[in-house]
């Protein structure tokens, strides 16, 4: 991929982003945030979740 192709791709993506309405961009951002896993699971996997389940079972 040459530099010119990369500039063309970035320009196309930027124009597509700018052409979408602000409300649609905001809604898409909120949907991505909602579907995201908790920070502890993203960083450490399922180990923190296993500990939480274990602690809740003991209570």
Cα–Cα distance measured from residue 14 to residue 55, given in angstroms and rounded to the nearest whole number: 47
Check residue 14 and give its pLDDT. Answer: 96
Q: 52: closest CA among 40, 37, 34, 43?
A: 40
Check residue 36 and give its pLDDT. Answer: 86
CA geometry: angle 43, 48, 51, nearest 5 deg: 170
Cα–Cα distance measured from residue 29 to residue 55, given in angstroms and rounded to the nearest whole number: 34
- pLDDT tens per residue across span 8-57: 999 999 999 999 999 999 999 999 988 888 777 777 878 888 888 999 98
Kindly state the helix (H) or strand (E) to which residue 2 belongs, with its residue range.
Answer: none
pTM strictly above 0.75: no
Give the residue with greater pLDDT, 41 vs 4.
Answer: 4
């Amino acid at each position: 991929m040459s530099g010119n192709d990369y500039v063309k791709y970035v320009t196309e993506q930027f124009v597509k982003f700018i052409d979408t309405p602000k409300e649609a961009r905001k809604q898409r951002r909120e949907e991505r945030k909602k579907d995201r896993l908790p920070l502890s699971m993203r960083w450490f996997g399922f180990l923190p979740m296993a500990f939480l389940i274990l602690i809740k079972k003991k209570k």
